[in-house]
């Protein structure tokens, strides 16, 4: 693990030999951590202000009237994800609910089994929990940053797409057909575009534009029976005469292709899944000739290249947008999954050691049998606090206070 990403453990104890011993134990255990030490709350807070603290090992009684729990509360303000191990000889004096809420995850009793092994084992246990949680948090923060960056980029990509789009297709069609009508004296013209994508339903779709760039009514004629298919097969501009007779039985004409004497048509094989056909109808001055054919062929080749470029740019933009949107979806899913993990973790009951300490403390100060019920109440309130925040907790406190007053008044105690 790199030092930059290593977890930081802060040891706070007013006795220098204790601090030195804890530091030696931790550094000797090769836990891949940074160890900081502070003799009092002020020094500890100064360190916390300067750097991330992941785990605090706090002496319950810091001397000079300071207590570890208060320090933990102050550290919590700097680092909301901090967890702590309390080192105390007076566990039964603890305020268990506050301790739990503030992130105390373990107790070590100075007067009993505090040794190098128990100490290192306790720290290792907490690190095992801290590390994946920290990793998830960092990932989540990264995702949030990513999301913010993408949210900023997305409109730029979209608007850039709009800016770099070549002439819109209807405008291009209008210009192309107008140009060819002037040169060939064709009465009418149309551009038919076919899209085919086997993964879609329907796989095939047609759109046709007239000489003004307006869309023309089309019928759902499959490619296999279309005039466009024949034109595409020709691979060159071709002239169709005697239309009704030559097409009868073999193909079906689109409405705008019917009723003409001659059609001069050129294929425009734009690319995979997109084919287009340029059609000119009926020459005013006589039949279409080889010169018209050559002209339309050249224009169609030129227009095919333009359409191909346009399509290529659109596909690139679409790919970029798809990638960005897929990344956003992925970040949402991952954030949701991390959030769920965090919630699950937070809703897990407190560690067994903490509950034992709580139970012992409660049993020493209350009537027998009340301890379990108190723990249940405490746990319920803890979950409310985690889910709904401090305002909800204050409401709980007021409710409990009201109940106590009611009982006091009713029972006269």
234 counts as binding other proteins under rule CB under 8 A: yes
Least distance between other proteins and beta carbon 311 (Å): 14
Nearest to 139 by CA among 307, 272, 336, 1: 336
Out of 240, 278, 299, 300, the residue judged to bind other proteins by CB under 8 A: 240
- Give 256-286 as a 3 state SS string: HHCCCCEEEEEEEEEECCEEEEEEEEEECCC
Out of 97, 216, 251, 335, the residue judged to bind other proteins by CB under 8 A: 251
Tokens of 130: 């801290």
Write the interaction track for other proteins spanning residues 320-359; mark x where CB under 8 A is met and - where it is not: ----------------------------------------
Piece in contact with other proteins (CB under 8 A), picked from 158-166, 170-178, 268-276, 326-334: 268-276
Cα separation of 31 and 106, whole Å?
18
Contacts with other proteins in 73-112 (CB under 8 A)? none
Out of 153, 167, 250, 330, the residue judged to bind other proteins by CB under 8 A: 250
Least distance between other proteins and beta carbon 216 (Å): 19
Least distance between other proteins and beta carbon 103 (Å): 58
Q: Give the residue carrying structure tokens 């979950």.
A: 383
236 counts as binding other proteins under rule CB under 8 A: yes
φ, ψ of residue 88 in degrees (nearest 5): -155, 155
Contacts with other proteins in 145-204 (CB under 8 A)? 194, 196, 198, 203-204
Q: How many residues does the chain have?
A: 413
- Give the total of residues touching other proteins (CB under 8 A): 34
Cα separation of 382 and 344, whole Å?
14
Cα separation of 67 and 86, whole Å?
11
Nearer to other proteins among residue 241 and residue 366 (C-beta) = 241
225 counts as binding other proteins under rule CB under 8 A: yes
User: In Å, what is the CA distance from 121 to each residue of 83, 124, 352?
Assistant: 15, 5, 15
Contact predicate 237/265, CB 8 Å: yes
69 counts as binding other proteins under rule CB under 8 A: no
Contact predicate 75/45, CB 8 Å: yes
Q: Which residues bind other proteins (CB under 8 A)?
A: 194, 196, 198, 203-204, 222-227, 229-236, 238-243, 246-247, 249-251, 269, 272-273, 275
């Amino acid at each position: 693990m790199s030092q930059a990403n290593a977890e930081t453990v802060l040891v706070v104890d007013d006795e220098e030999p204790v601090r030195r011993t804890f530091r030696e134990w931790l550094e000797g255990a090769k836990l891949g951590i940074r160890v900081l030490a502070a003799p009092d709350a002020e020094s500890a807070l100064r360190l916390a202000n300067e750097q991330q603290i992941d785990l605090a090992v706090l002496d319950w009684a810091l001397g000079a009237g300071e207590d570890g729990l208060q320090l933990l509360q102050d550290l919590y303000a700097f680092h909301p994800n901090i967890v702590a191990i309390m080192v105390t000889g007076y566990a039964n004096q603890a305020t268990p609910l506050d301790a739990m809420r503030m992130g105390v995850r373990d107790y070590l009793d100075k007067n009993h089994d505090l040794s190098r092994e128990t100490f290192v084992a306790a720290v290792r246990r907490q690190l095992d929990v801290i590390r994946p949680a920290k990793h998830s948090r960092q990932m989540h923060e990264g995702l949030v940053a990513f999301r913010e960056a993408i949210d900023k980029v997305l409109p730029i990509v979209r608007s850039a797409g709009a800016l770099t789009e070549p002439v819109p297709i209807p405008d291009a069609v209008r210009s192309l057909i107008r140009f060819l009508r002037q040169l060939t004296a064709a009465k009418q013209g149309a551009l038919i575009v076919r899209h085919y994508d086997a993964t879609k339903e329907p796989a095939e779709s047609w759109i046709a534009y007239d000489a003004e760039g307006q869309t023309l009514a089309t019928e759902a004629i499959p490619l296999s029976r279309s005039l466009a298919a024949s034109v595409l097969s020709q691979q060159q501009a071709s002239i169709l005469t005697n239309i009704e007779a030559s097409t009868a039985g073999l193909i079906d004409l689109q409405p705008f292709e019917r009723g003409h004497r001659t059609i001069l048509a050129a294929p425009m094989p734009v690319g995979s899944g997109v084919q287009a056909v340029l059609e000119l109808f009926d020459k005013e001055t006589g039949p279409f000739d080889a010169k018209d054919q050559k002209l339309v062929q050249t224009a169609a080749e030129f227009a095919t290249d333009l359409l191909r470029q346009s399509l290529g740019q659109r596909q690139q933009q679409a790919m970029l947008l798809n990638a960005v949107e897929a990344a956003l979806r992925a970040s949402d899913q991952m954030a949701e999954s991390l959030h769920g993990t965090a919630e699950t973790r937070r809703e897990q009951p407190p560690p067994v050691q903490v509950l034992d300490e709580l139970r012992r403390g409660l049993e020493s100060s209350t009537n027998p049998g009340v301890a379990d019920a108190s723990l249940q109440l405490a746990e319920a309130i803890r979950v409310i606090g985690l889910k709904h925040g401090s305002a909800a907790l204050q409401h709980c406190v007021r409710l409990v206070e009201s109940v106590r007053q009611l009982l006091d008044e009713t029972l006269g105690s």
